[in-house]
Amino acid sequence: MTKHIMLQGTSSHVGKSILTTALCRIFYQEGMSVVPFKAQNMALNSYVTKDGDEMGRAQVAQAEAAGLEPFVEMNPVLLKPTGNACSQVILMGKAVGNMSAREYHKGYSLKAFDTVKEAIRRLEERFDMMVIEGAGSPAEVNLKANDIVNMRIAKYLNAPVLLIADIDRGGALASLVGTLELLEPDERALVKGLIINKFRGDVTILQPALDFLEEKTGKPVLGVIPYLPDLGIEDEDSVSLDDKKTQAKDKANAPIKIAVIQTPKISNFTDFDALSKEDDVNLYYVKEGQEIGDADLILLPGSKNTTEDMLYLRDSGMEKALNEAHEKNIPIIGICGGYQMLGEKISDPLHTESDNDSVKGLGFLPMETTFVEKKLTSQVEAKCLSWEFLGEKLSIDDLFGYEIHMGTTNFTKEANHPFMITKRADKDVQVAEGVINQEQNVMGAYIHGIFDNDKYRRSLINILRKRKGLEALPVSTNYAAAKQAAFNRLADTVRQNMNMEKLREILQDA
């Protein structure tokens, strides 16, 4: 019989995803057959499974921690915000349309719950343990009637709940007590323990507060988890970009500086995490009112609303800054939506993302993109053709990544393609991918995760190093191995700072 444990929070970004990842790793290390689960995720960072299904990246990291290949039952509902109070709804990995918040919460969510229950059934057939992540707070009284990700799941499975608060942002005690007070009696009974997360300092000084919490709520404090900087584990949403900016300050003296343009609808910024882990790279994010600075490379990331983000670049003055950088011969690389913005025109005749019929692009690449109704989602294998970037040749085989896009791109003149996709969704193909300009300083492609490939990433950095008169460095970072080490470090920290004996009692009694 499958055991369940659920992690809920007093608000968003208190550490539910990371602590779910930690428990997945701990149970996996103990030899259990464990799987992560989140009924409904709202995020712009998504991933494509081997079956071509789209799911949230947080569950991908949790799957990796559990020693599993990600599959869509781990996250049956994904909401990808496209604009104010509107999201694209992904059900079991496939887009079913755009919905307003009212349409989804008042009409669709409870219908989607049937799909959620079917996903749970399939997981319970295969796994001994489910580690379940909630979303936001279970005490959002305006959403509770149609909520399918917090207490409805806990009650459906009779799953014990651990309630998490982030002490780093302040008000942790009040948020824990207040959340419990707002729950119904049967919901409150499911909460079996409290967790204080992101603590800095001497835990003995906190002990009177912990004693108060246990006396006030009648719930045990299972652990005080320390603040862990630079975890090396992929983040779920753009809130975590603040943490990345702090990390960038810590590497201000790194010789290679890479600027990522942060747009309002930025998506899949995890594409650049591997670059940020290189010791000689300072990767930082730039938004309106901030300077690109003396960057050696500018990255234009994906977007969930490409035309609106293109207009943002224009209206905010960032397009002007990009043009000035281009005139200074600072190289620019775009991925997915960022790739589309580098072209001459973006058209959306079916209004798949916005009300804009068409928008002029940056004009750096000879191409036009038209959005179509069907989204392409597939894992790919590719090779880097013998092409030149900043006068240096790149030729690398055995690249891996994935595609998530709705646009069809056509070239307005003969183009140089940097990649050849050799396998798409396990089928052998020969598809030219991406484009590089004649000056060899602007390049774009649809392949997400391309920088996760160690040899490609280091080769590109070395081109930037050579341009600055620095010697090339060998591949020294194994990104996949570094992630596994990060999972182990996280698990060790949580194990040391959580009452695991009490947790096992909770699981035994469930």
Active-site positions read 336, 448
**Do residues 59 and 70 lie in contact, with contact meaning Cβ atoms separated by under 8 Å?**
yes
Angstrom distance (rounded) from CA 25 to CA 490: 8
Residue 457 to residues 4, 274, 281, 353: CA-CA distances in angstroms?
40, 8, 11, 31
Q: How far apart are CA 30 and CA 8, in angstroms?
A: 23
The residues pairing with 419 across neighbouring beta strands, listed in sequence order, are 384, 433
Q: Which long-range contacts (CB under 8 A, 24 or more apart) does 102-108 make?
A: 104/79, 105/143, 105/146, 106/146
Of 36, 153, 24, nearest in space to 490 by CA: 24
- How buried is 15 (Cβ within 10 angstroms: 0-12 exposed, 13-18 middle, 19+ buried)? buried
User: In the structure encoding, which two tokens stand for residue 192, read together?
Assistant: 């079996």
CA distance 261 to 292: 8
Cβ proximity of 378 and 52 under 8 Å: yes
- Angle formed at CA 202 by CA 198 and CA 205, multiple of 5 degrees: 105
Q: Is 232 exposed, middle or buried (0-12, 13-18, 19+ CB in 10 A)?
A: middle
CA distance linking residue 68 with residue 7, whole number of Å: 20
Evaluate whether 499 touches 222 at the Cβ level (below 8 Å).
yes
Q: Which tokens belong to 150?
A: 């917090």
252, 402, 403 from 271: Cα distances, Å: 21, 11, 12
Q: 328 has which bridge partners?
A: none
Q: Is 31 left (phi over 0), alpha (psi -120 to 50) or beta?
A: left
Contacts of 281 (CB under 8 A, 6+ apart): 251, 254, 256, 257, 258, 275, 461
Residues 6+ apart with CB under 8 A from 230: 247, 250
Residue whose entry in the numeric block shows the structure tokens 């930690």: 22
- Using the structure block, give the residue that is written with the tokens 């943002």: 312
Whether residue 164 contacts residue 133, with contact meaning beta carbons closer than 8 Å, is answered with: no
